Amino acid sequence: MKIKFPLLFSFCLISSALLAQTKEKSWMLGPFVRPTNAQPVLQKDEASVFIDPITHTVAHWESMATFNPAALVKDDSIVVLYRAEEKLGEKEIGGHRSRIGMATSIDGFHFSKRPSPVYYPNEDAQKHNEWPGGTEDPRIVQTEDGLYVLTYTQWNRQVPKLAVATSKDLIHWEKHGPVFKDHRNGLYLDRETKSGAIVTELKNGKLVAAKIQGKYWMYYGVPHIWLASSTDLVHWEPIETHEDKLAPVLSPRPGYFDSWLVEAGPPPIITEKGIVVLYNAGNSQNVGVKDLGNRVYTGGQALFDANEPWKMLDRTDEPFIKPELPFEKSGQYVDGTTFLEGLVFYKGTWFLYYGTADSMVGVVTAKAE
């Protein structure tokens, strides 16, 4: 189950100004660096249109923002599934409409978009969960037999729900609905859930969904990170205490960069040291880090036991990535974000994709020795 792969990376020839991370602990992924003259790799396009199947009108489906990306490798290319927002008047965050678009790249930096979204609300059994807010914040994994498993947030503007869908080609999808709908007669069905990151391992140079003790595992949630298990990647059971309450496995810490909240990032990876979980961290200035400001999203890493995925072994004390460049600190989320959601291993390099200020997509890389 524990897969060995290079964790140490050389960056001696890269200007320190480009660093997104200093490697604090030996088990961490990275250090990651920004490209020279770093720019967003995906941005909004007010000219992109498609006919919405619910309103039957032309929708400018990525006119507000393109951000919070999932990523995978397919056919020798990097594929990014990104959250695209349609601008609806002057509504605040959460008041626009989201769909999921797809873009491909052969170098990880320059992308070609599909003209229409690949995943969106429709006249189907999930409409009541996904309309009018949409489908948000994807994460994606692939099984060894080639099935794609998408976790995402359904937003009906009442309760955000973590849901799952599957596909064989990334274009045609089967929606399975909220991940906990069958657990304890729907106990968690109307509770806020989001951000599902399924544990993976590197096999033959490719990340695939991993089993631990015969089950798949998923870190999920905000403001704490919880854990769930599944035998089929569709039906999930949250890990609970003996008192039948959710058991958080990672929580905010006063005095640190993650003092306000923690939220699951891209699919975690089993390494020779354990399960490396990259997570998003929000700062509360009065009890956290003064020079980060309030509500700033940075990135942390945590290490969990590869046989007991609820058991945390270590955790970073500093963010390994934070908003530093203008496009990471300007947008509809004015406090700034480097919101991690997509991680791939491609041609000997780790590519980490993240949302910037709820507006664009950025990337940092870590090259294998």
**DSSP letter string, 307-340:** SSTT-EEEE-SS-SB---SHHHH-SSSTT-BEEE
CB 208 within 8 A of CB 222: no
Q: Nearest-CA neighbor of 192 among 146, 136, 140?
A: 136
| Per-residue model confidence (pLDDT) at position 11 | 33
For the ranges 15-19, 59-63, 242-246, the lowest mean pLDDT is seen at 15-19
For 42-367, the fitting CATH number among 2.40.70.10, 3.30.420.40, 2.115.10.20, 2.60.40.2130 is: 2.115.10.20
* Tens digits of residue pLDDT in 267-310: 999 999 999 999 999 999 999 999 998 999 999 999 999 999 99
Segment (H or E) for 104: strand 97-105
Q: What is the pLDDT of residue 332?
A: 81
Give 24's pLDDT tier (boundaries 50, 70, 90).
confident
Q: What is the mean pLDDT of residues 8-19?
A: 38
Instruction: Indicate the pLDDT class of residue 20, thresholds 50, 70 and 90.
Output: low
7 pLDDT exceeds 70? no
Task: State the average pLDDT over residues 161-167.
Answer: 98
Indicate the range of 4-13, 86-95, 205-214, 285-294 predicted with least confidence: 4-13
- How high is the pLDDT of residue 330? 81
Q: Compute the distance between CA of residue 88 and CA of residue 292 in angstroms, rounded to an integer.
A: 31
pLDDT, residue 22, reads: 62
pTM of the model: 0.93
The answer on pLDDT for 335 being more than 70 is yes
Average pLDDT over residues 52-80: 97
Q: What local confidence, expressed as pLDDT, does residue 21 receive?
A: 57
Q: Percentage of residues in the chain with pLDDT exceeding 90?
A: 85
pLDDT for 1 equals 41
Measured between alpha carbons, how far is 56 from 365 in angstroms, rounded to an integer? Answer: 41
What average pLDDT does range 151-178 have in this prediction? 97
Whole-number Å distance between alpha carbons of 345 and 181: 33
pLDDT category of residue 41 using cuts at 50, 70 and 90 = very high
Note whether 358 and 368 are within 8 A (CB).
no
Mean pLDDT (the chain) is 92
Q: Please report the pLDDT score of residue 13 as a whole number.
A: 33
The pLDDT value recorded for residue 19 is: 52
pLDDT at 334: 81
pLDDT score, position 30 = 92
